Amino acid sequence: CIDTLAPAGPVFVVGYCYGGSVAWFASTKLTGVAAASGYYGSMIPAAADEEPKVPVILHFGRHDHGIPMEGVEQVIAKDWPNATVYVYEAGHGFNSDRRKDYHEPSADLAKQRTLDLFRANGG
C-alpha cells in the first residue's frame, strides 16, 4: 500500500480509536511513512517503549474512561524526540460529531495540529 501511494507524494497515517493505535504502530514499524497522527489509541500506552521512526502526534482525552491518564503519562514520560502527546479536556471519541463525547474545540485543535504536522513533513 505504501509503495503504491509513495509515488504521488508523502504517505501519512491518521487513525482514531483502534486506528489511533495503528497509526502509532505505523510510526514505529513501517518504512515509507512520512508522519502519523493517532487519536485516543488504547493500545499505545502498552507499546510506549517502541520508539517512533517518524514524527507522530497523539491526541488523548483527559476524561476518556477507557484510557487511564496513568497510561498516557507513561507515553509522555518516554519523551521520544519524534513523538508529541496532546491531552484535551474531552472524552473518548472527542473528534466524532456523532458521539456524545464530541468536543468541537478539541476536535478543531487536534485537526489543525495534525494538518500542521503533515504540512511540515512534505504534505
Count CB neighbours of 40 within 10 A.
29
Q: Is residue 3 part of a domain?
A: no
Q: Is residue 7 part of a domain?
A: no
Q: Is residue 12 part of a domain?
A: no
State the pLDDT at residue 55: 98
The CATH number linked to 27 is: 3.40.50.1820
State the pLDDT at residue 82: 96
Q: Which three cell numbers stand for residue 38?
A: 493517532
Q: Which three cell numbers stand for residue 83?
A: 513523538
The domain total for the chain is 1
Q: Is residue 116 part of a domain?
A: yes
The torsion angle over the Cα atoms of residues 96, 101, 102 and 108, rounded to 10 degrees, is -100
Q: Is 82 exposed, middle or buried (0-12, 13-18, 19+ CB in 10 A)?
A: middle
Q: Residue 35's domain spans which residues? A: 17-120
Q: Is residue 47 part of a domain?
A: yes
State the pLDDT at residue 49: 96
Q: Which residues is 56 bridged to in the sheet?
A: 36, 83
User: How confident is the chain (123 residues) per 10-residue block, as mean pLDDT?
Assistant: 88 98 98 98 97 98 96 96 98 96 98 99 92
Q: Is 94 helix (H, G, I), strand (E, B) or coil?
A: coil
Q: Which helix (H) or strand (E) element contains residue 99?
A: none
Q: Is 64 helix (H, G, I), strand (E, B) or coil?
A: coil
* Cα–Cα distance, 39 to 14 (Å, whole number): 8
Q: Is residue 1 part of a domain?
A: no
pTM: 0.95
Q: Is residue 101 part of a domain?
A: yes
State the pLDDT at residue 19: 98
State the pLDDT at residue 30: 95
